[in-house]
Amino acid sequence: MARVAGVSRSTASYVMTGRRTMSPATQERVREAARSLGYTPNAGARALATKQTMVIGLLAQFLEDEFAPAMLQYITGVTGTARELGYDTLLVSEPDGAHALKRLTDSRMVDGVVLLNVAHDDDRLPVLRATDVPGVLIGLPGDPSGLDVFDLDFAESGRMMVEHLAALGHRELALVTQPEHVVARGGAYVWRLLDAAQEEAHRRGLRLHAVPGASGQPQIGQDLHALLDTHPAVTGLLLHNEAAAAALPSVMYARGLQAPRDLSVVGRYSDEFARTFSLPFSSIESAPDRLGQLAVRRLLHRIGAPGDGSPPQVLLLAPELVDRGSTGAPAPR
Per-residue pLDDT averaged across 281-308, rounded? 92
- Give the pLDDT band of residue 42 (cuts 50, 70, 90): very low
Per-residue pLDDT averaged across 107-114, rounded? 95
DSSP three-state, residue 211:
strand
Per-residue pLDDT averaged across 115-134, rounded? 95
Check whether 186 has a pLDDT greater than 80.
Answer: yes
Is the backbone of residue 205 left (phi > 0), alpha (psi -120 to 50) or beta?
A: left
Say what the pTM is: 0.82
pLDDT tens-digit series, residues 57-87: 999 988 777 777 888 899 999 999 999 999 9
Per-residue pLDDT averaged across 155-169, rounded? 98
Q: How far apart are the first and last CA of the chain?
A: 75
What are phi and psi for residue 332, nearest 5 degrees? -60, 140
Check whether 207 has a pLDDT greater than 80.
Answer: yes
What are phi and psi for residue 100, nearest 5 degrees? -65, -45
pLDDT tens-digit series, residues 223-232: 999 999 999 9
- The answer to whether residues 79 and 89 touch, using CB atoms and an 8 Å cutoff, is yes
- The answer to whether residues 167 and 330 touch, using CB atoms and an 8 Å cutoff, is no
β-bridge pairing 282-284 and 321-322: antiparallel
> 315 - beta bridge partners?
150
Q: What confidence score (pLDDT) does residue 19 get?
A: 56
- Give the pLDDT band of residue 38 (cuts 50, 70, 90): low
- The answer to whether residues 159 and 196 touch, using CB atoms and an 8 Å cutoff, is yes
d(CA 22, CA 30): 10
β-bridge pairing 172-177 and 236-239: parallel
Per-residue pLDDT averaged across 126-148, rounded? 96
- Give the pLDDT band of residue 40 (cuts 50, 70, 90): low
Nearest CA to 119 among 145, 144, 101? 144
